[in-house]
Amino acid sequence: MSEKIGKHIAIYGKGGIGKSTTTSNISAALAEAGYKVIQIGCDPKSDSTNTLRGNTYLPTVLDSLRDGKKIHLDDISVKGFSGVLCIESGGPVPGVGCAGRGINAAVNLLQELNLFEEFKPDYVLYDVLGDVVCGGFAVPIRDGITDRAYVVSSSDFMAIYAANNLFKAIQKYEPSGGAKLGGVIGNGLTAVYSQAIIDDFTKKTGTKAVGYVPRSLVVSQSELYGKTVIEANPESEHANIYRSLAKYIAENEDLVVPNPLGAAELRDWAREWGDKIYQIESGVVGEPAEAI
C-alpha cells in the first residue's frame, strides 16, 4: 500500500456504548484545533456523523453503490462542524447480506476516488461496530487501513467482553500487518468502582486506559440539538474532557499488542469483581457471592 496520508485511527466498541458520540467529539476537537479530519462511520446504523452535521440526510456509500450510477465524492460526503468530512459506509438491506460488507465497499470506493490524496487529511477516524469482530468489521484493523485502534468501553461486562474480543482480533492480525491497540476509552462511567474495573481489566490484558468520560446530561442534551458537545457546549467540563482525549489520541505513539483473557479467565475475573462490588455495596467484607 502507498504511503499513508494522515493518521488513520479505528475506534471500536459494542453497540450503544458511545463510539459515535466519542468519535464525533474527538473529530470536532481536532477540527477545532485546526486539523483536517475525516470521520467514516463503519456501522450499519449509519448514524456515526449525525452530531457533526446537524442530523442532516447523508446517503451512505452502500446505498449509492446500489443505485449503480457513477459516484462522486460529493454524493457520499458532506462537510460538517469545522470542516470535518463526514462519510457513512452504510449497511445491507435488512435480512440480506453481511453487515460488514459496507466497510469494504466504502474503503475501496474512497481509494478509487483518491479521497486521501485530494483532501489531505491530518486524521481519519473510523467508527466501527465491534460486537462481533467478524471478517467485515475487522477490515479496518486487518488490511493495513489503520495502524492503531482504540476501544470504547463502560465497566459493564458485555462492553468488556467486546473489548476482549477486539484484543483477540488484534493479536491475530497484527503479525501480518494489522493494527495495534492505542488503549481503552472508558465511557459512561457512573459508579465509583467503574474506573477501577476498567483499570484492572487493562492491567490484566497488558493495555491501558487513555481517558474516562463520565455519564452526563450535557452529552444527551448536545445530541438532542444534533451537535457534538464541542459545538453545543464548548465551555463545559465535558468539552474539555473530549479535547484532552483528542490531544492524547492524536499524539499517542505507545501502541501495543494486547493479551486478551481466555474465556474461563474472563469469567473468573468478572466473578471476582462481582464479589468486590457486593462487599462495597453491602459493607460485608469476605462474604461469598452465593450469599446474595
Among 13, 20, 76, 101, binds Mg ion (CB under 5 A): 20
Name the DSSP letter for residue 62: H
Closest residue by Cα to residue 229 from 22, 18, 14, 17:
22
Task: Decide: helix, strand or coil at residue 109.
Answer: helix
* Residue 20 binds ligand ADP (CB under 6 A): yes
Least CB distance to ligand ADP at residue 74 (A):
25
Site string for ligand ADP, 97-136 (x = CB under 6 A): ----------------------------------------
Among 19, 142, 148, 227, binds ligand ADP (CB under 6 A): 19
Is 18 or 260 the residue whose CB approaches Mg ion more closely? 18
Closest residue by Cα to residue 25 from 12, 39, 14, 15:
39
HEC secondary structure over 189-236: ECCCCHHHHHHHHHHHCCCCEEEEEECCHHHHHHHHCCCCHHHHCCCC
* Residue 216 binds ligand ADP (CB under 6 A): yes
Going by C-beta distance under 8 Å and a sequence separation of 6 or more, which residues neighbour residue 59?
75, 76
Among 31, 219, 246, 261, binds ligand ADP (CB under 6 A): 219
The answer to whether residue 43 is catalytic is: no
Among 9, 10, 17, 107, binds ligand ADP (CB under 6 A): 17
* Residue 88 binds ligand ADP (CB under 6 A): no
Task: Decide: helix, strand or coil at residue 260.
Answer: coil
Q: Which stretch binds ligand ADP (CB under 6 A): 18-26, 73-81, 87-95, 106-114?
A: 18-26
What does 174 interact with, of Mg ion, ligand ADP, none (CB < 5 to 8 A by kind)? none
C-alpha distances in Å from residue 150, one per residue of 57, 126, 185, 288: 28, 10, 7, 35
Q: Could you tell me how many residues of this chain bind Mg ion (CB under 5 A)?
A: 3
Distance CA 182, CA 95 (A): 35
Dihedral sign from CA coordinates of 106, 71, 116, 252? negative
Active-site annotation holder among 47, 131, 199, 200: 131
Distance CA 290, CA 45 (A): 40
* Residue 25 binds Mg ion (CB under 5 A): no
Distance CA 246, CA 56 (A): 25
Q: Which stretch binds ligand ADP (CB under 6 A): 56-64, 67-75, 211-219, 248-256?
A: 211-219
Q: Which stretch binds ligand ADP (CB under 6 A): 15-23, 105-113, 162-170, 251-259?
A: 15-23
Judged by the rule CB under 6 A, the positions of this chain that interact with ligand ADP are 13, 15-21, 187-188, 213, 215-216, 219-220, 223
Active site (catalytic) residues: 14, 19, 45, 131
